């Protein structure tokens, strides 16, 4: 089990436990903390440097960036014929 600190983004409950304040340390399994880490409501404590740079959340954030850089929507491409002709 790993140790995690509650961040300022957290609501009333974090990983099914009552939030008692920013910086409160919770001991959770990876599975229990997974969603809260993605939300940014928990911060992992005592993470080795190599793991923090290549953490499990990094691929998910890269996937989101890829989704934002999609090519132009089809509606824009289809605006060719008749668009602007008067």
Count of domains forming the chain: 1
Q: Does residue 47 lie in a domain region?
A: yes
Q: Does residue 41 lie in a domain region?
A: yes
Q: What is the pLDDT of residues 15-70, one digit of tens each?
A: 999 999 999 999 999 999 999 999 999 999 987 655 554 455 444 444 445 555 55
The three-point CA angle 78-83-86 to 5° equals 165
Q: Does residue 21 lie in a domain region?
A: yes
Q: Does residue 76 lie in a domain region?
A: no
Q: Does residue 10 lie in a domain region?
A: yes
Domain limits at 14?
Answer: 2-69
| Spatial contact of 9 and 31, defined as CB atoms under 8 Å apart | no
Whole-model pTM above 0.75? no
């Amino acid at each position: 089990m790993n140790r995690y600190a509650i961040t300022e983004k957290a609501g009333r409950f974090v990983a099914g436990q009552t939030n008692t304040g920013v910086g409160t340390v919770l001991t959770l399994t990876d599975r229990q903390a997974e969603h809260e880490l993605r939300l940014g409501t928990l911060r992992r404590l005592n993470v080795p440097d190599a793991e923090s740079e290549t953490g499990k959340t990094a691929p998910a954030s890269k996937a989101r960036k890829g989704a934002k850089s999609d090519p132009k929507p089809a509606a824009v491409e289809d605006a060719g014929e008749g668009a602007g002709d008067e």
